[in-house]
Amino acid sequence: MVLCRNCGSQTIIKTSWTATNPGRKFYCCISRRGGCGFVDWAEGPSCQRAIDVFRHFMHEQQHVTVANQASEIRHLQDEALTMAVKYTRVKMLLLFSWVFFVLYYVVH
């Protein structure tokens, strides 16, 4: 177990996703006071090939995420349009029902 150098709290292992250290494991403080953040590397530096592979993976993942978000936006826009049409229909139905109610009340 690795302890934080600043506060003595326990640490957990996290994975770096920065451009300079993609996929590299590091110790992170989990103090109840908000934590001190980075404590130390859990493993040595990655070789250049591993860094290049991680960067490529992160780049591809970003494109997939953007494409998924665009698809989700289109889906939500379609759903919003459908709901707006339904809302308009319900308003019209309510209006006509009140008109018929008033006409019925006036006639009888």
- Whether 59 and 89 map to the same domain: the answer is yes
pLDDT of residue 85: 94
pLDDT of residue 24: 87
User: What confidence tens digit (pLDDT) does each residue in 3-13 have?
Assistant: 887 787 888 89
Taking the CA atoms of residue 14, residue 17, residue 21 and residue 26 in that order, the dihedral angle to the nearest 10 degrees is -10
pLDDT of residue 86: 95
- Whether 52 and 72 map to the same domain: the answer is yes
pLDDT of residue 36: 76
- Whether 66 and 107 map to the same domain: the answer is yes
Q: How far is CA 108 from the centre of its chain?
A: 60
- Whether 35 and 52 map to the same domain: the answer is no
Q: Residue 39 CB: number of other CB atoms within 10 A?
A: 21
What's the domain count of the chain? 2
- Whether 53 and 69 map to the same domain: the answer is yes
- Whether 15 and 53 map to the same domain: the answer is no
pTM to 2 decimals? 0.48
Look at residue 91 and give its three-state secondary structure.
helix
- Whether 31 and 57 map to the same domain: the answer is no
Task: Please answer whether residues 13 and 30 qualify as being in contact, where contact means their C-beta atoms are separated by less than 8 angstroms.
Answer: no
DSSP classification of residue 37: -
Residue 87 to residue 94: CA distance in whole angstroms: 11
User: What confidence tens digit (pLDDT) does each residue in 43-101 have?
Assistant: 888 788 888 888 888 777 777 777 778 888 888 999 999 999 999 999 999 999 999 99
- Whether 77 and 87 map to the same domain: the answer is yes
- Whether 6 and 52 map to the same domain: the answer is no
